[in-house]
Structures are given as C-alpha cells and as structure tokens.
Amino acid sequence: MTVEFNTAQGAASTTAPVQTEAEFKNDPTATLEGVRGKDVTKAAKRLLKESAERGGGSIQMQDVVKIYPGSTKRALDDFNLDIKPGEMVVLLGGSGCGKSTALRSLAGLEDIQGGRIMVGGQDVTGVPVNKREMAMVFQAYSLFPHMTALENVAFGLEVRGMGREERRKVAMEQLELVGLADQAKKYTQQMSGGQQQRVALARALAIKPRVLLLDEPLSALDAKVRVQLRDEIRRIQLNTGTTTVFVTHDQEEALAVADRIGVMNKGKIEQIAAPQDLYQRPATEYVATFIGLTNRLPGASNGDEAVVFGQRLPVLPGSAKGDAVTVLVRPENLTLSLPSRNDSNVGERARVEVIHFLGSLVRVDTVVTSGEYLRWNKGNQLKVTVQLPASELPAGLAIGDNVVVAPRPVAALAC
C-alpha cells in the first residue's frame, strides 16, 4: 500500500487503520500500515500547506567577503547570490573556487569579514547557526548507528521539544517522501549508502527548514546510485517547495537538477543562469570551457559574426573582435563528412584519431592537418572533437581516415 499525494488538491489518501507507537515497537509482526494511515494523511496535508510558508526562504548574499585565518587571499571576493523562494540553485566549480565556503557562510558555519546575508528578507549575518532555520546535508551521512531510520529522522524534532506521537508522525511523513517508509524500523548500518543518504535528507526536511543546503551529498556513492538519488532529491525538492542550495563539482549532476546554475571561479560567480542558457550562451571563456566540451578554433570576428573554417556564424554578446580570435565551438555544432562528398568551400581537412561510440551518439576526435593551424596553435596540432548522431556517421569511417570538419551556423563565443 502506498500513500498517493495529490499536489493539485493538497491531499493524500489511505484507508489503513492507525497503529499506535507501542504496537509498532513491540509487535515483531507489526506492519507499517498504521503509520502510513490517517496520521500520515494529516501530516502530508500539513506538509503541502506549509510548503508555501517555507517558500518564503528567499536568499540574498550581498558583497560577502570571507578570508580564512592566516591567509590574505579572499575565499569569497565580494560574492553575490540572489535566490528566489522555492528555487534550487546549484553552485558549480572546481576545487578551491569557493562553492563550499559560500554554502557554509550561508549556513553560519563560517564567519564572514564583509557583506551581509539575508534570508526571507531578514538579515541573518550575525545570527547563530541554530537560529537560521536551515538544514544541511553533507557527503558524510552523520547518522546515529544505534538508532533506527525512524529514530534518526525524529531526533531533531525531539531536540526541538516536539512530543513523541507528533514527531513520530512527522518522521514517518518524511520517510514516506524519500521512499523509505518500509525501512523505518531498520538500523542505519543495515542500509545501503543510498538509503542512508535518503535518511539524512529526510532528517533535514523533518525540521521544516526555510532553506535546505546540500554539500556534495552524492559524492560518496557509486555512479548508478548517484543518478537515481539526484533525481529523487529533485523530485522531493519540487514536492516540498523548499528553497535549496546544492554544491557540486559534477557538471552532469548540476545540469540535471538545477533551476539555475552558478559557475564559480576565484571566489565569485562568473555566470548564473538556467542550465540550457548556461550551456548554449556562456558569458565568459571560463564558463564555456568549464561546462561541457568545447573546441578552441581560430577565426576572425567583427563582433556580430565570426568566420571559422570558412563558415560564417553569429557570435554571442561580449565576444571579442579581431582578425585573430579564438572561437569556442561545441562538438555537436560541428559537421563531419568525407572529402569526396564535400562539394563546398566550407570546412578544413582533418585526420580521424579516435572514434568513441556512445550509444545513440558518436564522438570523433580529429587532428587538422593544415600547417597554417599548426603555426596558429604554437607548434601543437589543432585537435577538434565532433559529436553527431550515430546515424550520421559516414559508413565505414575508421581511424586514420581523412575527413572535412566544418562549423554549423550556431552562435558561439569569440575571445
């Protein structure tokens, strides 16, 4: 039996009888029908009703400066971030870019040396951690091994003085949300890593935080479980409407779950935008090369369009002008053909080095053979990667074959 949520009506339905706590704990044959019954129905209704209130967790980090003791370098350098209520924003960047520092500063775990932090319109800059109405999930689960999943989730509610029956109902509601209601009586060391992380997420949500903070929560899991759990986190976040900040260094993870992604570099956000906008219209060279694969190709630009390998293509706002610029072209925005079938003056001859079969897609690594580009690339071979549907790969193409590579007329950044 499952509890079915109707988000449009803000209700849940079930007909199972309510089971008391004593029955649940003392009866070894006891099922979870009771705790997923009427009490959970009421709790689920409360959850949906209160999600709008929790959505009041707007965030503004304004000109925040963080300098660690003993250092003169700014870990956060006039850092600014504005998040709408109910939004999931992912901070993405390499090691040392400041993304975890930003999260910990928001949580109150780090003192800041400048700027201010607003949550729901209130200044929380000097407010202690336990007064900020936030919950944080780390990559280490930090669960109590001597407690069951239900007891772990209920622990924070007990600390806050909630009565036994009420906290039990709320804890079961959260376990239901993360798909672990049938594991409530298990000790956490009996669970897989993915299940333990779900318990940690349920525990964080149980206190009904205005803001949920996730610090690389999936990095300790294997690839398959990571994909499953990241999708589950997104589902839960949409269901609860909790404002969420998610820190990761995994590009695919960020692109899959975010409403917006903030790409960080040297203590600042280089660009923040929806995943598709960030990928297709990068504002800086750093963003273009950090997100996804990018070819650096020689060209000329007048600020409105560029010429690359004989092809004219529009350029993105902020592009450089000049007779010798670098144009950043995505692999899927290139074509590949056999020389005998290329009857245009567009494109450059290249040699196939590696062919990667990726199911429905094929990625082909090539080297441009013209000496002109050898000189442009400071004596190094100009390597170009092309990605295309497997159905468009020339029949019989093999390593060492000569091909013609040409850009599609898709907007790119010139720098």
DSSP symbols for 119-156? ETTEE-TT--GGGS-EEEEESS----TTSBHHHHHHHH
Considering the domain boundaries, does residue 98 fall inside one? Answer: yes
Number of Cβ atoms within 10 Å of the Cβ of 359:
6
For residue 237, give every residue at least 6 positions away whose Cβ sits within 8 Å of its Cβ, in sequence order, or none: 88, 212, 244, 257
pLDDT exceeds 80 at position 300 = yes
Mean pLDDT computed over 401-405 = 94
Domain boundary among 251, 278, 305: 278
- Residue 287: which of 305, 265, 302, 255 has the closest Cα? 265
The pLDDT score that the predictor gives to residue 380 is 78
**pLDDT number for residue 343:** 63
What CATH number did the domain enclosing 201 receive? 3.40.50.300
Q: Is residue 251 part of a domain?
A: yes
- Would residue 357 count as lying in a domain? yes
The pLDDT score that the predictor gives to residue 33 is 38
Measured at the alpha carbon of residue 193, what is the angle toward residues 187 and 196, in degrees to the nearest 5?
45
Query: Strand pairing partners for 351?
Result: 367, 402
Could you tell me if 79 and 225 lie in one domain? yes
Of the ranges 39-43, 151-155, 267-271, the best mean pLDDT one: 267-271
- What is the reported pTM? 0.79
210 and 259 assigned to the same domain: yes
Q: What is the pLDDT of residue 138?
A: 85
As a whole number of angstroms, the distance between CA 203 and CA 290 comes to 34
Task: Report the candidate in 295, 288, 256 with the shortest Cα–Cα distance to residue 271.
Answer: 288
Is 19's pLDDT higher than 50? no
pLDDT at 379: 67
pLDDT of residue 17 exceeding 70: no
The length of the chain in residues reads 415
The residues that bridge with 365 in the sheet, in sequence order, are: 354, 385
Q: Check whether residue 197 and residue 88 sit in a common domain.
A: yes
Lowest mean pLDDT among 174-183, 257-266, 372-381: 372-381
pLDDT tens digits for 91-116?
Answer: 999 889 999 999 999 999 999 999 99
DSSP calls for 340-355 = GG--SS--EEEEEEEE
Instruction: Assess whether 254 and 342 both reside in one domain.
Output: no
Domain assignment present for residue 284? The answer is: no
Which of residues 36 and 263 earns the better pLDDT score? Answer: 263
Burial class (CB in 10 A: 0-12, 13-18, 19+), 18: middle
Q: Is 204 exposed, middle or buried (0-12, 13-18, 19+ CB in 10 A)?
A: buried
Task: Please check whether residues 299 and 374 belong to one and the same domain.
Answer: yes
Structural domain contains residue 29 = no
For range 363-392, the mean pLDDT: 86
**Last residue of one domain, picked from the residues 243, 278, 313:** 278
Question: Are 310 and 273 found together in one domain?
Answer: no
What is the predicted pLDDT for the residue at 413?
96
pLDDT in tens, 221-277: 888 888 888 898 898 899 889 999 999 999 999 999 999 999 999 999 999 999 999
Give the containing element (helix H, strand E) for 327.
Answer: strand 322-329
Cα 314 from Cα 321, distance rounded (Å): 12
Are 402 and 358 within one domain?
A: yes
Residue type, 175: L
Closest CA to 315 of 333, 325, 323, 327: 327
Tokens at 372, concatenated:
């002109």
Answer whether residue 20 is part of any domain.
no
Residues 274 and 297 occupy one common structural domain: no
pLDDT at 46: 52
> What residues form DSSP beta bridges with 334?
407
* pLDDT > 90 fraction of the chain, expressed in percent and rounded: 60
Q: Which two tokens stand for residue 361?
A: 């897609």
Number of domains in the chain: 2
DSSP conformation letters of 9-74: TTEEE--PPP--HHHHHH-TT--STTTTSHHHHHHHHHHHHHHHHHTT--EEEEEEEEE-TT--SE
Helices 193-206, 164-177: inter-axial angle, 10-degree rounding: 130
Query: Token digits for 340?
Result: 């005998």
Q: For residues 208 and 101, state if they share a domain.
A: yes
Instruction: Residue 373: give its domain's CATH number.
Output: 2.40.50.140
pLDDT of residue 221: 82
The answer on pLDDT for 375 being more than 50 is yes
Inside any domain, residue 40: no
Instruction: Give yes or no: residues 271 and 355 share one domain.
Output: no
Per the domain annotation, does 170 fall within a domain? Answer: yes
Dist. CA 306–CA 282, nearest whole Å: 16
Question: What does the pLDDT read at residue 98?
Answer: 95
If you search the block for the tokens 């903030």, which residue do you land on?
262
Strand partners, 65: 114
Query: Do both 159 and 130 map to the same domain?
Result: yes
Range of the domain at 236: 54-278
DSSP state of 1: -
Across the chain, mean pLDDT equals 84
125 and 244 share a domain?
Answer: yes
Q: Distance (Å, rounded) from C-alpha 333 to C-alpha 405?
A: 11
What pLDDT was estimated at residue 16? 36
Domain final position from 278, 312, 343:
278
Q: Report percent pLDDT > 70 for the chain.
A: 84
Measured CA to CA, the distance from residue 126 to residue 108 in angstroms comes to: 8
d(CA 319, CA 321): 7
333-354 tens-digit pLDDT:
999 999 876 666 789 999 999 9
